[in-house]
Structure 1
Amino acid sequence: MTTTPGDPGRLPENVAHFVRLLRGAGLPVGPGHTITAARALDAVDITSKRQFFWALYGTLVSRHEHRHIFESAFRLFWRDPFGVDEALSALLSRSQIPVERPTSKAPARLSPEHEAANRSTGELARDSGERIALRMAFSPDEVSRTRDFEEMTPAELRQAREAMRKLELDLRPVRTRRHRPDPRGRLIDLRRTLRTTVRTGGNPLPLQRRSMATRRPVLVTLCDISGSMEAYARILLHFCHALTNAADRVHTFVFGTRLTNITRLLKDRDVDRALDRVGDTVTDWYGGTRIGAALGAFNLHWSRRLLAQGAVVLLVTDGLDREGGAGIRLQARRLRKSCRKLVWLNPLLRYREFAPRAAGIRALLPEVDEHRPVHNLDSLERLAHALSGRR
């Protein structure tokens, strides 16, 4: 560390400055946390970077999702506390923590212009000549594929949206109850054989054959747009738009506190216009989540109409439910019985330390066929390959 934590003269001042940095980044810390952190540092060997880190972490971080913010701020601040204001701009451009905010419509939040405005400060910091050391040692293409959507720059988000448009999702065909003529079919089509014989005056002809007809299954996406999903809902709606315009029998719903069918809105091939219309129509953006109620509404009003033979349902949510998981298991079980496959796409799986602690997560897990991460392009490509039957 460029700044030595063990300097007793500047340490209290630096700790207070560090707490202000965390508060500016969105962590719920105040003056009381500064005192607690200072006392914790008195109890450890502050010349040890490891002990110094965990003393601050244990007193200043209260939620698991704030960990990556703290780690980034720690690296930036204790390297150069006097240049931290510039570093904070870059940090805020890469890390968005859900906070309380007035209710507003979503079109601006869904637009590339809004993303660029939110992150313009970070772009200026990156262009200033002093590169913030938050990059991985991979090629640009690999970084874009493996970088978390939440941490992407505006340029990387544009590349991600373009990649989504090119992503091929060729769903594995499923057999229907209908038959089709097939010269190599295993079944004899007796009706067609008799008709052919009558037309030829009874002369014997080769047997007409048939096989089971196949077709692409229905694909239904149920996407959580609550506050905890804000960073992912925005980019995943671009993915849903690409799916809707690339194939038929694709349906998309969003839910926060209520369920809304946005399939027709996404049929517009202009993605910006389509998402503007979605933003004007949907009223429960980035608020609470009622997963059980949303699944129940789908089961009641849409399940029988849409979930034909072989249907695949993608449930995009982090499983954090404001009602403590009430009704989720029952409704998820009903949904599972109505479709061929229920796939849960969970951005929280990006954490290696992920554990099903929340009630909603524990209720969902036993009722799904697959539980997959959905936080970067690589995870979407893996999903497409799995649904297409490719490896």
Structure 2
Amino acid sequence: MARRETSLEGRVAPTPLDDVPLVGQLTGFVEALRGKGMPVNPSALIDAGRAMSVLDLLDRTSLREGLAATLLTEQNHRIVFDKLFDLWFPPAPGVRTTTFELPHNVEGEIDVEATRDMIADLLADDDAERDGRLAELVAQIVDQLGRYESTRGEAFSAYQAMSVVSPQTLIAKIAAAMDSGNDGSAGRAGTAERYRAAARARAGGLRAAIESETQRRMAMRNGRDTVADYAVPNLPENINFLSAGAREQAQIRRTIEPLARLLAAKLEIRRRRSHRGQVDVRKTLRASMSTGGVPIDLIHRKPRPHRPELVIICDVSGSVAGFSQFTLRLVYALRQQFSKVRVFAFVDTVDEVTEYFDRHTDDGDFGAAMHQMISEARISTLDGHSDYGNMLRGFAAEYAESLTHRGALLILGDARNNYHDARIDALSELVDRVRNSYWLNPEAESVWGTGDSAAPQYAQVIQMYECRNVTQLGEVIADLLPV
């Protein structure tokens, strides 16, 4: 990385790192990764520096993959890595020069349909990305379609540009353009579908390129740290359960299985180490004979770690259903740690739904289990709004026998009771029947008790924990289970 200079004595001395701009660029990039929560240790930084010393720095693809190979420890972090890479190692500074001109109509305005046709033709060309024409077109799209005047001056919006271009509507045009340039093989079975699949991929690539170029232009004006704060997403394990969209939920799902494997190994070791058998009185007394009958060393029987029973009661109403589904995925992945797992769901009425999840556990299709359960189970018989009080009363009346002194109770929900009776007495009855009981709440603790939240009341009876993302969920499960 550092240049080396020969001193007057003939010895080779390294140039100070501060004098090498590229070193600062790399360390700044690593600090940005750490700021987003990625674990990058000093040895990985050194490896990245060594990789950069042998890579062609003008080849961004090679540079990106080289840094990813040395700095990334989780593949799920790749999206965040790529976003930060584009900010710290942009294709080029300044405004791009281009020979493209978007078509205009007779009124002098940009002709949207003609622009879409031109974009489709270019995306259908396999050589467009290699010779740089696609990058030039993207620069023109952002400059002419994404530009707007803000209170702070000129700005660029990826949303504004894409709302005009509408990449999703381009798929048919791209596929048609690819078909028009074929060698007469379109009649073969499956060819049209292959064109359409390729068109979808290229339309998605166009969207990503527009977003990247917009962020580059905004970073030129506001600085990359400012842009990173709002343009670079959170790591999948730090995405808020309650605000996650469809794409974010898919990312969260991919983090559950590796987290479960890690937790299973840790929990098994902890369970075996933490359980000690009862004192063996006979052996202890025999051993005490050597110390005058004083039992200085207690001898324990061989420990027999038991696998506890687990009962889960989960709120499946509204956005809380996503949190419940992710938690159930994690618990079912750890079900070997328990002798039995029973699941109960509710909106305003509680019903056992264990069979739905047992049925879909092998193929991991929890989405189908949730859909079938919500459609068929008796979980809403009143007004369709969450009613924790009615659920607790019903559970105590119908399913109290499912709770034993050997088991644990896990309640999943935000405790927003729509101003119904909280029925603290029913919750106390359930808690008294089990060895351990916990409540996982997907809302921030700072909003417990606001509005219709009965969380503070329930927290007086049961241990309640904030679980807003996978990181918190994993920490809580690792600390609490097995019990």
TM-score, normalised to structure 1's length? 0.52
Rounded to whole Å, the distance in 2 between the matches of 1:123 and 1:287 is: 39
Shift of 1:80: 4.8
Correspondence 1:319 to 2:427: no
Correspondence 1:341 to 2:422: no
Secondary structure, counterpart of 2:348 in structure 1: coil
Question: What is the number of residues matched between the two proteins?
Answer: 254
In the TM superposition, what are the counterparts of 1:1-391 in structure 2 within 5 Å? 80=156, 83-84=159-160, 86=162, 127-131=208-212, 143-149=235-241, 150-151=243-244, 153-154=247-248, 155-169=250-264, 170=267, 186-188=280-282, 214-244=305-335, 247-268=338-359, 269-272=362-365, 274-282=369-377, 284=379, 287-304=384-401, 306-322=402-418, 324-349=419-444, 353-359=446-452, 360-369=454-463, 371-388=464-481
Tell me, yes or no, if the aligned pair for 1:328 and 1:363 is still in contact at 8 Å. Answer: no
Rounded to whole Å, the distance in 2 between the matches of 1:377 and 1:249 is: 24
Rounded to whole Å, the distance in 1 between the matches of 2:162 and 2:374 is: 33
Rounded to whole Å, the distance in 1 between the matches of 2:459 and 2:206 is: 42
Secondary structure, counterpart of 2:460 in structure 1: helix
- Judged with a 3 Å threshold, the aligned counterparts in structure 2 of structure 1 residues 167 and 264 are, in CA distance, closer, same or farther, namely farther
Shift of 1:367: 0.9
Shift of 1:289: 0.6
The residue type paired with residue 252 of structure 1 is: V
Task: Tell me the C-alpha RMSD between the 2 structures.
Answer: 4.5
Rounded to whole Å, the distance in 2 between the matches of 1:123 and 1:315 is: 40
- Judged with a 3 Å threshold, the aligned counterparts in structure 2 of structure 1 residues 125 and 294 are, in CA distance, closer, same or farther, namely farther
Rounded to whole Å, the distance in 2 between the matches of 1:338 and 1:79 is: 61
Higher relative contact order (CA 8 A, sep 6+): 1
Rounded to whole Å, the distance in 2 between the matches of 1:226 and 1:363 is: 21
- Judged with a 3 Å threshold, the aligned counterparts in structure 2 of structure 1 residues 82 and 136 are, in CA distance, closer, same or farther, namely closer
- Computing the radius of gyration from Cα coordinates, the structure with the larger value is 2
Tell me, yes or no, if the aligned pair for 2:325 and 2:370 is still in contact at 8 Å. Answer: no
Q: Please give the per-residue CA displacement for 1:73-109, whole angstroms capped at 9, x wherever unaligned.
A: x99xx9557954858xxxxxxxxxxxxxxxxxxxxxx
Structure 1 unmatched ranges of 5 or more: 1-73, 88-119, 175-181, 190-208
- Judged with a 3 Å threshold, the aligned counterparts in structure 2 of structure 1 residues 241 and 125 are, in CA distance, closer, same or farther, namely farther
- Judged with a 3 Å threshold, the aligned counterparts in structure 2 of structure 1 residues 355 and 384 are, in CA distance, closer, same or farther, namely closer
Rounded to whole Å, the distance in 1 between the matches of 2:204 and 2:396 is: 45
Rounded to whole Å, the distance in 2 between the matches of 1:245 and 1:213 is: 16
Tell me, yes or no, if the aligned pair for 1:241 and 1:271 is still in contact at 8 Å. Answer: no
Q: Please give the per-residue CA displacement for 1:57-78, whole angstroms capped at 9, x wherever unaligned.
A: xxxxxxxxxxxxxxxxx99xx9
The residue type paired with residue 321 of structure 1 is: N
Tell me, yes or no, if the aligned pair for 1:317 and 1:345 is still in contact at 8 Å. Answer: yes
- Judged with a 3 Å threshold, the aligned counterparts in structure 2 of structure 1 residues 86 and 367 are, in CA distance, closer, same or farther, namely farther
Secondary structure, counterpart of 1:220 in structure 2: strand
Structure 2 unmatched ranges of 5 or more: 1-149, 164-200, 216-226, 284-299
- Judged with a 3 Å threshold, the aligned counterparts in structure 2 of structure 1 residues 136 and 239 are, in CA distance, closer, same or farther, namely farther
Shift of 1:375: 2.2
Of all paired residues, the percent bearing the same amino acid is: 18
Tell me, yes or no, if the aligned pair for 1:146 and 1:377 is still in contact at 8 Å. Answer: yes
Secondary structure, counterpart of 1:296 in structure 2: helix
Shift of 1:123: 7.0
Shift of 1:295: 1.4
Rounded to whole Å, the distance in 1 between the matches of 2:409 and 2:251 is: 28
Shift of 1:275: 4.1
Q: Which residue of 2 aligns with 1:97?
A: none
Secondary structure, counterpart of 1:375 in structure 2: coil
